[in-house]
Chain A
Amino acid sequence: MINPRNPLWRYPSLGVLMVAFFAFLYVPIIVLIVLSFNQNQTATIWTTFSFDWYKNVLENPNILRAAQNSLIVALVATVVSTVFATMAAVGMAGKAFKAQNAFNGLVGLPLLVPEIVTAVASLLFFLAIGLELGLTTVIIAHVVFCIPFAYLPIRARLEGLDPKLLEAASDLYARPWQAFARVTLPLLLPGIVSGAMLAFITSMDDFVITFFVAGAGATTLPVYIFGMIRTGISPEVNAISTLLFAASLVIVMLSFFISQKK
């Protein structure tokens, strides 16, 4: 372990850079949040504090429907992708076998292929097989790209698991399924939870793929926000963006504290 106060490790002006870095990262977000509570119509000059825009947002039926769509898609995609990812991670653990490399490549695909390529390919595929664009197509696409996000933390957790623990369970008269239920699953749980949270955020945040495969009836929140921004700046966008930021923040913090707890 190194002591950061040791002058040996003190590189000049790194501290200044750090302040600038975090300012760059957070000033836009903070401006956005502050302006969402601004009463002024013009959206960038501060007048007085108000919740008006949040009220507008929460009374706008289109936004509410988009939010509802987002939640439905995210919940379904999270549950399905997390279950499949957990199964896959358990199946991948242990002694090496042939199909492992193929699966590793497959599961990496959604992360490595540019979103717009995935979006175009999915759109063409859905149209070619005659599946009508709507919530179904959105959910299918989301499940697919959520799988790696759910998979990776679970797999990492499983890799950190001492294989001796399973031997110990077996030595203490646990049958394989008992060893899974009593030892593997509880120890895997933090990985599963953080995997599910990452899947949820990823699904909630996705814009590009949803934009292509949603069709008219299945507008999600990001797609709706994109439309609002394109038609012009409005304080409502500030408010709804802040809400979306807050949602991400809550989930990231939850995930963080769960992972800290081990």
Chain B
Amino acid sequence: MKRSSLVGRYALISPAAILIFVFMLLPMLLMALMSWLEAGQFGGVKWGSYTPEAYLKFLFDRDLSDHLVFNTDYLSIFSRSFQLAGITTFLTLLTAFPVAFYIALQTPKHRTWLMLLITIPFWTNLLVRTYAWILLLRNGGLIDSSLHSLGVLNTPINAMYTPIAVQIGLVYAFLPFMVLPIYTSLEKLDWRLLEAAYDLYANRWQTMRRIVIPLAAPGMVAGCILVFVPALGTFFIPELLGGAKTLMIGNLIQQQFGVSRNWPFGAALSFALLAVVLMFMLIYALRFRGKGSLTQ
């Protein structure tokens, strides 16, 4: 390659690269640094005074005489977050796989239209879609009032502000994220492989288990990451549907920059969340190297 053309290519790439570097990568490094600083009294940090306090806070609290006391409050928020995000991933995978499979089986024209139907919610404001569930779930809402008028229920449904409401909201929010990558990997499937499997005495279920699922695995794993990661970090879905008793990590982080004013703790929580995410990415990258990327 000629030297001049290489310089030109660097010049073309650099504006985007510099922007992301300065306003994405540097801030994350700064955040990592801040998580090791002492919290200022009314928000902010004390520069220069380093302490692991923010990370100790994950598991311990300080009592009046400044001793560390084991505290499970945050631990239970973490475990709830992982549980909700995990169940969300499982449920969306369970639904999305047959849906993607069904769509991949249609004629090209039908496929495009069905995928459009899935893409529309994907690009609709998540806040709006979450809000729609309030209309359905709340007392006097659509589900409550229909159950009452059918005589199934006499008492209010009290579905809002429960973990179940949050769970429904999470599944609803991230379902399209699961369908799209699975569909992408199934769309490329060579259907003659299925014919070959049938020809070799595999029944539908065996064909599914031995041929389709292994070949769709990269898409399924990509889908799982695309659902699990944002579900773990979500904050307005539990905020709107869950209320105070179903806090997730996202809410906890947000509180540190709002009412609690503990920036280092917020930074430490964010950094821990980032570490979990990066770990998943790394596993994915190592396991499915070269078999398509998450960002496609």
Contact = CB atoms under 8 A, between A and B. Distances in A.
A and B touch in the complex (CB under 8 A): yes
Interface of A: 2, 4, 8-9, 11, 14-15, 17-18, 21-22, 24-29, 31-32, 35, 42-45, 84-85, 87-88, 90-92, 94-95, 97, 99, 102-103, 106-118, 120-125, 127-128, 140-141, 143-144, 147-148, 151-152, 156, 198, 201, 204-205, 207-208, 212, 222, 225-226, 229-230, 233, 237-238, 241, 244-245, 248-249, 251-253, 256, 260
Given A22-B117, A112-B229, A29 B253 contact: no
13 contacts: A2-B191, A17-B98, A21-B95, A28-B132, A31-B136, A45-B140, A84-B15, A90-B12, A91-B9, A112-B229, A112-B295, A116-B235, A122-B23
A8 B198 contact: yes
B267 A124 contact: yes
A87 B14 CA distance: 9
Interface of B: 1, 6, 8-13, 15-17, 19-21, 23-28, 30-31, 34, 44, 95, 98-99, 101-102, 105-107, 110, 112, 116-121, 123-129, 131-136, 138, 140-142, 145, 172, 175-176, 191, 194-195, 198, 204, 229-230, 232-236, 239-240, 250, 253-254, 257, 263, 266-267, 270-271, 273-274, 277, 281, 293-296
Contacts of B15: 84, 87-88
Given A117-B273, A122-B23, A148-B295, A248 B281 contact: no
A232 B257 CA distance: 23
Nearest to A229: B131
Q: In terms of DSSP, what is the predominant structure of the interface of chain A?
A: helix
Q: In terms of DSSP, what is the predominant structure of the interface of chain B?
A: helix
Contact of A91 (B12, B44, B120): B12
A144 B99 contact: no
A121 B99 contact: no
Contacts of A229: 127, 131, 134, 240
Nearest to A90: B12
Nearest to A10: B105
A221 to B, nearest CB: 9
A176 to B, nearest CB: 9
Contacts of B274: 113-114, 117
Contacts of A9: 105, 191, 194
B77 to A, nearest CB: 14
Contact of B135 (A31, A90, A114, A253): A31
Contacts of A127: 44
A103 B17 contact: yes
A120 B13 contact: no
Contact of A201 (B11, B112, B123, B270): B123
A231 B270 CA distance: 27
Nearest to A92: B13
A128 B194 CA distance: 58
B142 A152 contact: no
A249 B102 contact: no
Nearest to A221: B125
A153 to B, nearest CB: 11
A116 B271 CA distance: 10
B277 A112 contact: yes
Nearest to B232: A114
A114 B229 contact: yes
A29 B130 CA distance: 10
